[in-house]
Structures are given as C-alpha cells and as structure tokens.
Chain A
Amino acid sequence: MTAIPTPKSNELAEQLARVALRDHAALRRVYEMTSSHLFGVALRILGRRDLTEEVIQDAFVNVWNHAGSYRVAQSQPMTWLISIVRNKALDVVRSAVVRRETEMPTDEEGEVRDIPDTRPQALELLMQAAQTLRIRECLAALDASQRQCLALAYYQGMSHAEVAEHLSAPLGTVKTWVRRGLERLKHCLGSEA
C-alpha cells in the first residue's frame, strides 16, 4: 500500500481559481487530480461505493458552485477539498438509514460493505500517516486505545458511541480519550493551516 501523492498544491489552487471563473475544463482537471484520493477518503467512512459516488458528485457540484469561496491564504487546496468531502460523508453516515446498515456486523459480509477485508485497519493508517508526517514518536505519548479512538473517528467516521461499542469501552472514557488524543495531535501536528 502506498501513500497517496498529494497533487501539487500550486497547480490545484490555480485550477480552483479557474473553476471560480466558471472554467469547466478546470473543474475536470481538479477532478482528475483529486477524485481518487477523495473517493478513498469518503469510501472508508461510508463503506459503500454507491453512497460514496453520491457524496463525490455532490462535493464536486459544490466545488463548481463555491470555488470562489476557497482562500489560498486560509488552507491548502487539498485540505479544503477533503473538508468538503468529509463533511458530506459524515452527514450521510450520521443519517438514520446508513447508520442501520453500517451497524450490522458487516465486516464479514461483503455485500454490505464494499471495502475488501484486506483493507488496512484504521490504526494502521494512522501510524502510517504518522510515519510519513514524522510524528510517530510524538504520538507514542498516547496509549494504544487513545490512538485507536482517533483512528476510528478520523478514518472510519465513527461517532463517540460507535467507537465505544467497537472498543467495548465506556462512552465517557472514549470521550476523554478523544479529547486527549486531539490535544496530543495538535501538539504533534503543529498549528499551521
């Protein structure tokens, strides 16, 4: 498994600026540069390709309509796009219909979750990202449960309650783990946008 090469931010920012001027070819370029990464991010949260396709569609229609609101000074273009996609995916996954399906013991039932069983576990993704970002030692200050909490929430889009159920831990404990985990991540990842 390889880390996703992030598209060159400058080029992406330039294409987004063109999209803001209603350049449809630029939207296509943005899509080509980012859609597979964004699809991967949303698919991990949603677990179903059909829902992921809808989220990616909505996200890019959103980008087409609101590219003018992207500010280079405030965030990296990829960060902005991931935020749009993740927020939409979280909205969908929190809706009652999807909740019911993802709460089923689906890891063994391929017809419900479209992610193959060989997919990396959330904790693996976190540690891999930590390796790439050179924050592995920094994250070592958290115990395994805390790291697991963050990983499930970030990569799988799990709620406090879902994490608690998944780890068989009390809800209050999970909330505390998440809070401490975020504090640690803030320390490790720095404050630059």
Chain B
Amino acid sequence: MNDMLHPEVVDRLAGEYVLGTLEGGARRRFQQLMLERPAVRVAVAAWEGRLHKLATSVPAQMPSPKVWAAIEARTRPGPRDERQGAGWWGWVRGLGQAAVAAACGVLLTLGLVRSWPEAFVTVDQVAQREQVLPQSYVGLLLDAESRPALLVSSTRHGTHVAVKSLRVLEPPAGKVLQVWALPREGVPFAIGVATVTKPPGSTSFELSESSEALLSKVGQLAVSVEDAPVAPGAAPSGPFLLKGHCVKLW
C-alpha cells in the first residue's frame, strides 16, 4: 500500500477513478483510501474539477415528472404532500384525494368526538404543536435521603396518573405503595396505588375525579407502605417512605 500513496501514483489513480476506468476491487480500495486520506480526496476533487468540464457538451435530457415526485416522496419529512412536482394531473388528483379525505375526516371526527372526546387530539400532539408541555400536575417524590424516586404526573383535566420509577422501590412482600395527596390545609387523602416497576419503568393508576378537582389545593404528594389499598377517608398507617412537592405545570 505504501507505493500506492506516492503522490504521483495517487494522482494517476485519482484521474482513473474520476474517469471511471478504475474498476472492481481497485475502485473499492481507492474509495476506502479516500475516506482515510485527505490528500487523496484533494487529488480526486482536482480531477473532478478538470474532467467534469467535459460534461458541458452532453445534451440535456428532461427527466419525466415522476422522477421529482419520487424524490419528493423520499425526502419530504412527514406526511405533508404539497404535490409540487406532480404536474397538472397530480394537482387535480390531489384535489380529489383531498376532498375525499376531508369528507372522511368530517365523518370520522363526528363519530370520534361523540364517543371518545379525548382521543381526537392527544395531549402530546397538542403539546408538540404548541411547543409547550401540557397543563399537568407533577410530583417529584424523594426518598429519605432526598434522592428522586418517583415521578407522578397527570394532565390537568384528566383522571389518568402516570407513575415513573426513578429508583428501585421494593415494598415488603404482600404490601402496596399507597400514593397520598397532602393538601396545604387539611389531612392527607389516598389517591391511588403505585405498582412497583424497575426503573425507568412506568405504570399508572386512575383517579376517582379529575386532577384539577383533587389536586388544585394539594402542595405535596407522598407514598406510604400499606398492607392493602386503603379505604376512602383512612389515614396512613405509618411514616411516608417518599415525599415531594406537587406543582402545577402551566
């Protein structure tokens, strides 16, 4: 390989490479050399600058419109389709498809909004579009040594509470981790049971009412170890294992 790296040899090979007569294994080895050696790339660029002037005399040939359409399909990010290159027919066809899609969309929307209002646009989709986090209640619960252990969150008007384990939590066998809401005034009340998962595992539980109804006056969340999910109105049986502020994210 040493003699191959002599500048004169590199220059000759670069010329043959750009011309196209360097073939097979020699071409592949030379391409590898280009990746490894800047000097080889410089030689190739110089030959490209020279030889491709010769392309000036090649008659132009108009590619068919489907070439751009295919390029667009492969490069345009996401499902957006502006149909720039599809020509007149593509535009007409696009209008037709848009009309059918719009009609389907209206029917689908009516059905969905009636039967399943929250599903129409997900919170995440809205958040993505607005570039902000959705309005939520979020609690970061710390252990006795102030290490983050559990992330509890729920959208403001939802009843679904997402629980993410940040540390390994292992209640004694047969016991449950009871989640409590600690109002700024008043006594703690149980809101649900967190299933133990390996970090960074996620689980969830459902609230009896919306987050807004239950948590708007709550300053902290906490977790205690209980024999079984506590009955409504019951008090924690022991000290809190985890505890942290509950904040409004809006």
Contacts and interface: CB of A to CB of B under 8 A. Distances in A.
Nearest to B42: A74
Given A40-B60, A86-B20, A185-B50, A75 B67 contact: no
Interface string B36-60: 0000001001111111111111111
Interface residues of A, number: 64
Contact of A160 (B18, B23, B53): B23
A57 B67 contact: yes
B63 A56 contact: yes
**What interface size band does chain B fall in?**
35 or more
Interface in B1-41: 12, 15-16, 18-21, 23-24
A129 B47 CA distance: 16
Secondary structure of the A contact surface, majority rule: helix
Nearest to A24: B76
A161 B214 CA distance: 82
Interface stretch (A10-18, A101-109, A150-158): A150-158
Contacts of A83: 18, 48, 52
A193 B56 contact: no
Contact of A129 (B46, B53, B63, B71): B53
Contacts, number: 155
B70 interface: yes
A173 interface: no
A121 B12 CA distance: 26
B68 A31 contact: yes
A154 B53 CA distance: 11
A28 B71 CA distance: 10
B59 A4 contact: yes
Given A41-B58, A193-B45, A182 B52 contact: no
Interface in B69-88: 70-72, 74-77, 84-85
A178 B70 CA distance: 38
Interface string A104-139: 000000000000000110000110110011000000
A9 interface: no
Contacts of B71: 27, 31, 56-57, 60-61, 64
Interface in A139-164: 150, 153-155, 157-160, 163
Given A3-B56, A52-B63, A186-B15, 5 more contacts: A4-B56, A56-B67, A79-B48, A90-B20, A163-B21
Interface of A: 1-4, 6, 22, 24, 27-28, 31, 35-37, 39-41, 43-44, 49, 52-53, 56-57, 60-61, 64, 74-76, 78-80, 82-83, 86, 90, 94, 119-120, 125-126, 128-129, 132-133, 150, 153-155, 157-160, 163, 178-179, 182, 185-186, 189-193
